[in-house]
């Protein structure tokens, strides 16, 4: 089993306070590394990966809306 899978599995047994501690530890690591951080405040960090994921979701919604707004064309 991979380390990430082991960690993910262990997270399910933590209570809310413990999860917050884990979240703070991860945020601290992001801050220490400083790579890919676009925004950093008291609530956490916003990374390049977060930005790309959010943009992809928005573009998919825009594409779907555009397709739905096109009138049906018959050949």
Domain count, the chain: 2
Q: What DSSP designation does 36 have?
A: S
Helix/strand/coil percent split, the chain, to 5: 65, 10, 25
Considering the domain architecture, whether residues 9 and 22 belong to the same structural domain is answered as: yes
Residue 75 in domain: no
Whole-number pLDDT of residue 8? 93
Residue 43 in domain: yes
SS3 70: coil
The pLDDT mean for the chain works out to 89
Whole-number pLDDT of residue 1? 61
Contacts of 63 (CB under 8 A, 6+ apart): none
Domain of 56 in residue numbering reads as 36-70
Q: Is the pTM of this model over 0.85?
A: no
Q: Mean pLDDT, to the nearest integer, of 41-60?
A: 91
Considering the domain architecture, whether residues 22 and 46 belong to the same structural domain is answered as: no
Considering the domain architecture, whether residues 26 and 41 belong to the same structural domain is answered as: no
What is the sign of the dihedral through the CA atoms of 67, 70, 72 and 75?
negative
* pLDDT bracket for residue 36 (50, 70, 90): confident
């Amino acid at each position: 089993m991979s380390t990430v899978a082991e960690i993910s599995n262990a997270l399910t047994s933590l209570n809310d306070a413990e999860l917050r501690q884990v979240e703070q530890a991860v945020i601290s690591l992001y801050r220490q590394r400083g790579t890919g951080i676009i925004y950093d405040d008291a609530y956490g960090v916003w990374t390049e990966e977060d930005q790309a994921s959010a943009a992809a979701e928005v573009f998919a919604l825009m594409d779907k809306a555009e397709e739905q707004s096109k009138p049906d064309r018959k050949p």
